[in-house]
Amino acid sequence: MSSRLLAMLLGTLLTLPTLASTPPAPSADSLLKLHQMRLAAQRSLGDFYMYNGMEGDQRYARLIDESTQTADARLNELGEMPGEASKALHAQLVQEWQSYHSELSGLVISLKQKGYTDLQPVADLTERNKRLLELSNELYAKIQQEGAAQVPPLTQRSRDQSLLMQTIAVDYASRSASIGGSFMGSNGSKAIDELAGEFASQLASLEKAPQNTPEIRQALDGISTKWRYIEKSLKNYNEKSVPFLINKYSDRIIDGLEDVSARYSAVQS
């Protein structure tokens, strides 16, 4: 065996332990699953408010089940975490999700049996949902940091837009339900009309992105049409309440944004 070939073999053997000990890089699919989990977890709270506000309409009971099943499935589908901090956050997220899911199920059962829910358990559920979203956002950022992988900018912006639309829908459903005469807003201090203004501005910015293909422009145009249909109701949310309309169109807008996000991923990859 020549000395050159021997040196190459030794070099390969020396690198094997290093390669074996390197944790797997987080895939774009794992980050997508986590994003989808965030959306479904947030939607489950909006579905509960609709269930309460629509006086136990069983359609929303089924939607709660669908949302929680989706969130649970996406959380279980997450791949290996790239570092110790993300592993710790993942463990916290799993625990928080289980607690939230349990509390939500208990409130649904209570509503079915008694026909109403007490204020404090709903307030606790809302706070639990906020914590769940905060943890998932922290994990989303930490996976990218520890795995040295970044979601492409336009993909991220369209995902953020989906989350914003879901926040608006949840807050509108909460205000319409007015459990115990109280509003359980999920976004903190921002009013619905302010959030609607942000959504409109960010959607207009996406529509101007030079990377937009004809297909993406067409998809964004469809989203914009649906948005205009509910924009006035959101900006004048203290007037006539139309929770069914907002719920229906927000779902369609989010579906459209998720389609656009996938198209951006394909273009930017």
Per residue of the chain (269 residues), give pLDDT as tens.
444 444 444 444 344 343 333 444 447 788 999 999 999 999 999 999 999 888 768 899 999 999 999 999 999 999 899 999 999 999 999 999 999 999 999 999 998 888 888 889 999 999 999 999 999 999 999 999 998 888 999 999 999 999 999 999 999 999 888 654 444 555 556 899 999 999 999 999 999 999 999 999 999 999 999 999 999 999 998 888 899 999 999 999 999 999 999 999 888 65
Neighbours of 51 (CB within 10 A): 25
Can you tell me whether residue 49 is helix, strand or coil? helix
* CB 263, CB 213: distance < 8 Å: yes
* CB 39, CB 133: distance < 8 Å: no
Could you give the C-alpha distances from 254 to 29, 76, 130, 262, in angstroms and in order? Answer: 19, 22, 20, 12
* CB 24, CB 82: distance < 8 Å: yes
* CB 205, CB 224: distance < 8 Å: no
Angle, helices 28-53/119-147, rounded to nearest 10 degrees:
170
> In the chain, where are the structural domains located?
26-149, 151-269
- Considering the domain delimited by 26-149, tell me its CATH architecture: Up-down Bundle (1.20)
As a dihedral over the C-alpha atoms of residue 216, residue 154, residue 228, residue 36, rounded to 10 degrees, the angle is: 100
